Amino acid sequence: MSNHLIDLAVIGGSGLYKFPGLENTSRHAVGTPFGVASGEVVLGDFAGKRVAFLARHGESHSLPPHRVNYRANLWALHQLGARAVIGVNAVGGIRSDMGPRAIVVPDQLIDYTHGRYTSFCDIEGAEVNHIDFSEPYTASLRHRLLQAARKTGIAVIDGGCYGATQGPRLETRAEIARMRRDGCDLVGMTGMPEASLARELSLEYACLALVANFAAGCGDEAEISIEEIFAHLAAATAEVPRLLEAMLRA
């Protein structure tokens, strides 16, 4: 175990490949029993605290959601000394108030993914760990995010159910209609197994969901434009450093 003291680890999603404002940085390639992480972990100083940053899809967005090595990513952050992780996720909005550029701190999720390595128990000789996943996100970390949002005046929606789909394709209207019936408010492709792996490592974990577009059939658009998605995502992502700075300074 490293002696690094990390106050917060941030896993950046689509549109967040580097962490603005991180100073005195160093890069760390961490070997794991689960293969190679998405890239090097960048350690630096931010808001008077020690922060680790990892780009989930790689710094050049070379990894699609179903090919991300979630186990290696979480293991690497844990090995470097992280104890709390914020996963920043680009999502589609299903609920009417979760339109483009909305920022949401969900409190529940449903996993629709398949074929991914979902547990550290999958390797030979590992202890089987039946985690309690009733509440998939750490309440205290969610509370810190929401408090920071109130302090800075950034509009953030408290709660909602994140539906994790396989990707990399976007969903059909029928799939989104089913997810709405299931109780999903957001749809994304990277929320699982990241959240459950964090729980297996006893890491605090919360999701900061940035809405890039309305999901299929939920908005007025006949077709979802990738250019529009990234424009909305850039606007929402710009608020992330200010929000996290307020959280760390609290």
pLDDT tens-digit profile, the chain (250 residues): 344 589 999 999 888 889 999 999 999 999 999 999 999 999 999 999 999 999 999 998 889 999 999 999 999 999 999 999 999 999 999 999 999 999 999 999 999 999 999 998 877 777 888 989 999 999 999 999 999 999 999 999 999 999 999 999 999 999 999 999 999 999 999 999 999 999 999 999 999 999 999 999 998 766 777 888 889 999 999 999 999 999 999 8
- CA gap 210, 55 in Å, rounded: 15
Is 152 annotated as a binding-site member?
Answer: no
Predicted TM-score (pTM) of the model is 0.93
In a domain, 145, yes or no: yes
Is 56 annotated as a binding-site member?
Answer: yes
Closest CA to 13 of 247, 192, 237: 237
Is 57 annotated as a binding-site member?
Answer: yes
Q: Please state, as a whole number, how many other Cβ atoms lie within 10 Å of the Cβ of residue 238.
A: 13
Q: Please state, as a whole number, how many other Cβ atoms lie within 10 Å of the Cβ of residue 161.
A: 19
Measured CA distances, 57 to 16, 47, 227 (Å):
9, 25, 18
- CA gap 3, 19 in Å, rounded: 22
| 97 neighbors 153 (Cβ within 8 angstroms) | no
In a domain, 2, yes or no: no
In a domain, 169, yes or no: yes
In a domain, 1, yes or no: no
Q: Is 96 left (phi over 0), alpha (psi -120 to 50) or beta?
A: alpha
Is 215 annotated as a binding-site member?
Answer: yes
In a domain, 43, yes or no: yes
Pull the structure tokens for residue 32: 């794991």
Is 190 annotated as a binding-site member?
Answer: yes
Per-residue pLDDT at 2: 44
In a domain, 131, yes or no: yes
160, with CB counted inside 10 A (0-12, 13-18, 19+), is buried
Per-residue pLDDT at 229: 85
pLDDT digits (tens, 9 = 90+) for 144-172: 999 999 999 999 999 999 999 999 999 99
Per-residue pLDDT at 1: 38
Is 247 annotated as a binding-site member?
Answer: no
Is 213 annotated as a binding-site member?
Answer: yes
Is 34 annotated as a binding-site member?
Answer: no
In a domain, 3, yes or no: no
For the chain, how many structural domains are there in total? Answer: 1
Place of tokens 């800075």: 152
Q: For the domain that residue 126 is a member of, what is the CATH number?
A: 3.40.50.1580
Residue 224 belongs to what domain range?
8-249
In a domain, 103, yes or no: yes
